[in-house]
Structure 1
Amino acid sequence: MALEPVPDVAQTLEEVAGSVKMFMSGGDKRDDDGHGTGIGVVTKTKPKTQKPSLWRVILLNDDYTPMEFVVYVLQKFFNMDEQGALQVMLHVHQKGVGNCGVFPYEVAESKVAQVIDYARENQHPLQCTMEKE
């Protein structure tokens, strides 16, 4: 049985060290023939996230929708307590418009649609809109 020669450990370590240096120096190194060595640097970028733009939901006054209905809508769709809903309703009644809250676009859009649909189901002309904050 013949013994296989042991590889030169010093030479193997030199090759590994050269590969590490090439990797650490960054870049795809080329050998004498112009072929790539397959060694390069990978950089990771973290995507930047933006906060969503905010939209104000506004209730508009009319001469036909009962005040009690407006208070109920504010409690049901904007989670206001009775006192807060009364204050907003009175502001709408006296000033013509009132702020129901500030939300991301999709939430504001959904709340506007819910209020208008619910008012129509109950035969009230209550209007609700939204504007960019």
Structure 2
Amino acid sequence: MHSTLAMDRMIFMVTKPPKTPTPPSVPLTKPDDGRGGDAVVLERLPLKTQPPQMYQVVLLNDDYTPMEFVVMVIQEFFNKDMETATQIMLKIHLDGKGICGVFSRDVAATKVDQVTEASRKNGHPLQCVSEPIEL
């Protein structure tokens, strides 16, 4: 008999209609559109993403690395043709440094690592660095 009462109560709880939600305590207001009516204005703000910081990859002159090796490095790692690579090599030789390319930070770091490794393997002290470009 006791279990029947508990069972009836559970059935009542399951079949009981849900309560209606209570309205929010703060009334919702809409801005006045100036024409006597209510208007809702949603303003979409465009997302402005900044372009990535760019870095120039620079080769530095030394008195030991052969010019031919510098030209080969510029061609291989910076995809320059023979004439352009030779012009960059001469700039490095005459001015002490030359820009081989402009890249994002990760790509510039990879280029520096590639040139440094190739120079080390071939026994040359060619130095390669990346410098941020000031805007």
Within the alignment, does 1:71 sit opposite 2:60 as a pair?
A: no
Task: Quote the residue 1:8 is aligned against.
Answer: none
The equivalent of 1:110 in structure 2 is: 110
Once superposed, what is the RMSD of the aligned Cα atoms?
2.5
Q: Please state how far the C-alpha of 1:49 moved relative to its aligned partner.
A: 2.2
Gaps of 5+ in 1: 1-29, 36-41
User: 4+ runs of 1 displaced by more than 4 Å?
Assistant: 42-47
1:61 corresponds to which letter in structure 2? N
Structure 2: unaligned runs, 5 residues or longer: 1-21, 27-41
Equivalent residue for 2:90?
90
When normalised by structure 1's length, the TM-score is: 0.66
Q: SS of 2:131's equivalent? A: strand
**Which residue does the alignment assign to 2:58?**
58
Identity %: 51
- In structure 2, C-alpha distance between the alignment counterparts of 1:106 and 1:119, rounded to whole Å: 20
1:57-79 deviation line (CA, Å, top 9, x unaligned): 10000111000000000000000
**Number of residue pairs matched?**
100
**1: CA distance between counterparts of 2:67 and 2:85?**
10
